[in-house]
Structure 1
Amino acid sequence: MCNGQILASLEQPRGSPVRVCRFSPSSTYLASGASDGSVVLWNVPLLKFHRAGLVKDGSLVACAFSPGGNLFITGSSGGDLTAWDENMRCLYSDKSHDLGVTCCDFSPQPVTDTTRGIEYYKMVSCGQDNEIRIWLISFDDEKGFDMRCKLTLSGHSAPILACAFSSDGETIVSGSIDKSVIIYAAKTGCIRHILTHHKRYVTTCALAPNQPLLATGSMDKTVTIWKLGQKSDSPGVRIKRKAEFDVESWTEDDVRTWLANESLLEVEPHFSANNIDGKELLGLTKDILLHDLKIESLGLRNKILRKIEDLKSKMKAVSSKIPEEFLCPITCDVMKDPVIASDGYSYERKAIESWISTKRTSPMTNLPLENLLLTPNRTLKMALNRWLDTRSEEKNYISS
């Protein structure tokens, strides 16, 4: 039982205010970073000092341990990301975000490069430059340390204060001074959702490890919990899955089921009397609700319209069900004519042709392209066509 007992009070050796601290995955070590740029690794079982280091520029404001715990990354207000091993050897240090790093986080799931036989960690960082960067990091005794930027994401319009990976490594979430929360596909960097509930800066975010839940905290003095998915297969949620395909195909019975699911049964007689089906549902306005459906309560009319807007948002969310390998990394749309560039990634032909007409760098790595040759990806094209055929059949089945 937790009783608040203090086990130790460990003083930062240089006497500077501590800005960040993180436990290693095994809880063997605790890292603490301070305003003067000092970082200390504490031995947790012994409750004593282990090793210390110092960054060259700025306060330490961010820290994250790799899943294996054999290295950790610190981020400074000067913009540097620095990698350390458990003996506090500095493995890497470089400017990564202009104006300063604000947060960093490792994905719990490693990535294996089968062609090179190397296992990578994925890490995300964000900063005052309004950008998120996804890094690939490898570290072993034989091949040493390697850290390179895989993607740069620019969805926010203001400094980003928080970022986090999901437990499966497939999703990244971020919160910003622009008051928004953005959910990205980690593999492609495509934006899946933009959440705009908060009234002030979003300062922190966390994804639940075993449930489809996201928590965000803000300067508006609230913590918001978001539901990101629906695991139930009950009849009450099947209509929501149908919405992801084509609400316009809903029958009047489907609309009545939706009203029941949304706690709007009191207006069901008004909808039934006017034979409202899916297509008409999407076209409802305040005037139609008042004059045609005779729903006099302003609050009830507003509630119906909010629910319809939520429904439209869920229809748009169908794009998140598209396999990520079918999405062009530049446009984030389903590819029609996929080609392979010299960086090894596949793109929509027109999008990459437009890109390389003005830039000679990879859209995925920001590194120079070896050449401008584009090779048709026929294997991906065949897989894409099969998926489109299956999706069309599924849509027809659900609409029937």
Structure 2
Amino acid sequence: MVSLICTLQSHRDDVNWCTFSSSLLATCSADKTIRVYSTQDFTELPFSPLSGHGYGVHCCCFSPCGQYLASCSTDATTVVWAMDTGEIEAVLEHPGRSPVRVCAFSPDSSWLVSGASDGTLALWDFPSRTLCRMGAVPDTTMVACSFTPCSQLFATGSTYGDLRIWDLNMNQLHAEKYAHDLGVTCCQFSPQIMKYGHVVQFRLASCGQDSLLKIWIISRTSSPGCKMQLVHTLSGQCATVLSCAYSTDGQLLVSGSMDKTVAVYEANNGILLYTLNQHERYTCPLFLFASSLLSDNAITSLSSFLSLCCRYVTSCAFSPTAPLIASGSMDKTVNVWRVEDGSSGHASGPKGKSLPSKKWPGHSRLTVSEWSEDDVSSWLLEEGLESLVDTFKANNIDGAELLSLSKESLSSDLHIESLGLRSKVLRKIEELKMAPVSNGIPDEFLCPITHEIMKDPVIAADGYSYEREAIESWINTKSRSSPMTNLTLQTTLLTPNRTLKMAICRWTSSQ
């Protein structure tokens, strides 16, 4: 169940963005301000609003440790604010002085990227607040950006409709030129990393003017470049989808739309769980004032006009430490929602039906022999064998049948004529057989250091979750390097992952 717990009405113009840290909620607006609230009771902090931009503020984001907030504006700057005092820490002027539309921190706090309306990208070394590199896509406006959980790659989206993957040297590794018709509006990487042998995979959500929310798998090997594959196209909203965001555990995905709704999906399978409509219920002060002066027919006409030009849900965000969603709107308000049942169990769908929570086989601790036919299909997609999905479904290949396949059966029974394709399938099956068996415990519940179920999970500066005691010991003995990336942790601050802890408790109690 998702319930509305409060509505914030401090801004005087459209709310363009909202973002959470472990203890704060920040919102920015066309009214040139950023407002900061405590997530304990959603009271505004004493130094809020933050006023330093000369024009409307398009985007804001917290550094992973929550110590800083970055905001970008039409005034061609990205301002860094200190969250203990509300003072300006730095003003980063975008090269070319073009309006800055989007900014994003890397999960390890090393980098800050900003994108502008002239198609340029600026990659800033955040500890030194200096410009490192520039990139550009001509004849477009950069409106979306997100770093991978490992902080080594980032994705951008533009009004041209393309999604591009970049490395830290500003090399374009992949360009999906027609990802969304008429333009991309937002993109965000899931916090989870998937590893299959030498292949590392990430999930990326994107939305656009085509009224669609899409989920992609980005595959990276040791060779240059990467592969981008569409796995889900979600059409739960009937107008332009303006924003999207993953939950900290990657199990939920939320989006906001020009149809004035907020949609919540089960992310792994793209199942629509909830459609939230409360932004429609806001009554514009202009309408209240005008209704006291106009005739009934004029009021009806004005109401219709305002319903078209107001209330679009422009932004949405998940809290990293609590089961909370924030959604901002052109109605000048921010709604804060509580997700009562997290990302597991059963949830009521749009028609009141019970929807089971499922997992991709790549994230499941089920043995392969327990996989369903749908699990096998998902595995084929993850391994780049999408051309075989229909063939395997037609022959009812489940996990047990998959393990029994041989070179002969692939040829004679499934009629796979390509020798290279048969060899690839057999090689992938052998990898499955060699994978360790794990007693049904979800991967994300295990500490990467101890490989045991976490009791007190915390998020480190590298974006990964660990058992608190294990990562504290690691930091004290391993020169502050990340256990997952071997890169230096920019901060030793650890943030409690309460969402993951709740999910572990629910799973444990159900066993």
Match of 1:128 among 204, 209, 216: 209
Corresponding residue number in structure 1 for 2:355: 319
Corresponding residue number in structure 1 for 2:481: none
Provide the C-alpha distance between the structure 2 equivalents of 1:378 and 1:162, rounded to a whole number of angstroms.
36
Tell me if 1:375 matches 2:411: no
- Counterpart code for 2:377: G
Q: 1:197/1:370 Cα in 2 relative to 1: closer, same or farther (>3 Å)?
A: closer
Tell me if 1:2 matches 2:111: no
CA contact (8 A) 2:174 2:225 kept: no
Corresponding residue number in structure 1 for 2:250: 169
Provide the C-alpha distance between the structure 2 equivalents of 1:94 and 1:314, rounded to a whole number of angstroms.
32
CA contact (8 A) 1:339 1:375 kept: no
Partner of 1:316, secondary structure, is: coil
How far residue 208 of structure 1 moved from its aligned partner, in angstroms, is 1.7
Q: 1:140/1:202 Cα in 2 relative to 1: closer, same or farther (>3 Å)?
A: same
Corresponding residue number in structure 2 for 1:109: 192
129-138 or 155-164: which moved more?
A: 129-138
Corresponding residue number in structure 1 for 2:415: none
How far residue 371 of structure 1 moved from its aligned partner, in angstroms, is 5.5
Provide the C-alpha distance between the structure 2 equivalents of 1:314 and 1:124, rounded to a whole number of angstroms.
21
Provide the C-alpha distance between the structure 2 equivalents of 1:204 and 1:141, rounded to a whole number of angstroms.
36
Corresponding residue number in structure 2 for 1:42: 124
Tell me if 1:344 matches 2:377: yes
Corresponding residue number in structure 2 for 1:206: 317
Provide the C-alpha distance between the structure 2 equivalents of 1:97 and 1:315, rounded to a whole number of angstroms.
28
Give 1:226-305 correspondences, 5 Å limit: 226-230=337-341
The TM-score, its normalising length taken from structure 1, stands at 0.61
Provide the C-alpha distance between the structure 2 equivalents of 1:98 and 1:60, rounded to a whole number of angstroms.
15
CA contact (8 A) 2:211 2:240 kept: yes
CA displacement 1:278-326 (0-9 Å, x = unmatched): xxxxxxxxxxxxxxxxxxxxxxxxxxxxxxxxxx989936425x44579
Provide the C-alpha distance between the structure 1 equivalents of 2:141 and 2:116, rounded to a whole number of angstroms.
6
Q: 1:339/1:2 Cα in 2 relative to 1: closer, same or farther (>3 Å)?
A: closer
The TM-score, its normalising length taken from structure 2, stands at 0.48
Relative CO higher for 1 or 2, CA cutoff 8 Å, sep ≥ 6?
Answer: 2
Tell me if 1:187 matches 2:207: no
Partner of 1:198, secondary structure, is: helix
How far residue 188 of structure 1 moved from its aligned partner, in angstroms, is 1.1
Alpha-carbon RMSD across the aligned residues, in angstroms, is: 3.4
CA contact (8 A) 1:179 1:196 kept: yes
Provide the C-alpha distance between the structure 1 equivalents of 2:398 and 2:99, rounded to a whole number of angstroms.
58
Tell me if 1:93 matches 2:175: yes
Provide the C-alpha distance between the structure 1 equivalents of 2:112 and 2:208, rounded to a whole number of angstroms.
24
CA contact (8 A) 2:199 2:220 kept: no
Q: 1:136/1:379 Cα in 2 relative to 1: closer, same or farther (>3 Å)?
A: closer
CA displacement 1:209-252 (0-9 Å, x = unmatched): 23222111112222112221258xxxxxxxxx9xx89xxxxxxx
Provide the C-alpha distance between the structure 2 equivalents of 1:378 and 1:138, rounded to a whole number of angstroms.
25
Q: 1:371/1:205 Cα in 2 relative to 1: closer, same or farther (>3 Å)?
A: closer
Provide the C-alpha distance between the structure 1 equivalents of 2:385 and 2:260, rounded to a whole number of angstroms.
28
Q: Which runs of 5+ in 2 are unaligned?
A: 1-82, 281-310, 362-371, 402-511
Q: 1:190/1:366 Cα in 2 relative to 1: closer, same or farther (>3 Å)?
A: farther
Corresponding residue number in structure 1 for 2:218: 137
CA contact (8 A) 1:79 1:98 kept: yes
How far residue 3 of structure 1 moved from its aligned partner, in angstroms, is 3.0
How far residue 55 of structure 1 moved from its aligned partner, in angstroms, is 0.9
Q: 1:146/1:313 Cα in 2 relative to 1: closer, same or farther (>3 Å)?
A: closer
- Counterpart code for 1:11: E
Q: Which runs of 5+ in 1 are unaligned?
A: 232-240, 246-311, 327-337, 347-361, 382-400
Tell me if 1:154 matches 2:235: yes
- Counterpart code for 1:344: S
Provide the C-alpha distance between the structure 2 equivalents of 1:176 and 1:73, rounded to a whole number of angstroms.
21
How far residue 372 of structure 1 moved from its aligned partner, in angstroms, is 4.1
Partner of 2:355, secondary structure, is: helix
CA contact (8 A) 1:340 1:377 kept: no
CA displacement 1:40-83 (0-9 Å, x = unmatched): 10111222110001013410011101111101111101111111
Partner of 1:227, secondary structure, is: strand
Provide the C-alpha distance between the structure 1 equivalents of 2:126 and 2:271, rounded to a whole number of angstroms.
40
How far residue 375 of structure 1 moved from its aligned partner, in angstroms, is 2.3
Relative to its length, the structure with more helix (as a share) is 1
Provide the C-alpha distance between the structure 2 equivalents of 1:217 and 1:81, rounded to a whole number of angstroms.
24
Provide the C-alpha distance between the structure 1 equivalents of 2:219 and 2:355, rounded to a whole number of angstroms.
32
Q: 1:145/1:345 Cα in 2 relative to 1: closer, same or farther (>3 Å)?
A: closer
Provide the C-alpha distance between the structure 2 equivalents of 1:372 and 1:208, rounded to a whole number of angstroms.
42
CA contact (8 A) 2:200 2:221 kept: no
How far residue 2 of structure 1 moved from its aligned partner, in angstroms, is 2.7
Q: 1:196/1:377 Cα in 2 relative to 1: closer, same or farther (>3 Å)?
A: farther
Q: 1:105/1:370 Cα in 2 relative to 1: closer, same or farther (>3 Å)?
A: closer
Match of 1:220 among 304, 309, 331: 331
CA contact (8 A) 1:102 1:126 kept: yes
How far residue 144 of structure 1 moved from its aligned partner, in angstroms, is 4.2
How far residue 180 of structure 1 moved from its aligned partner, in angstroms, is 1.1
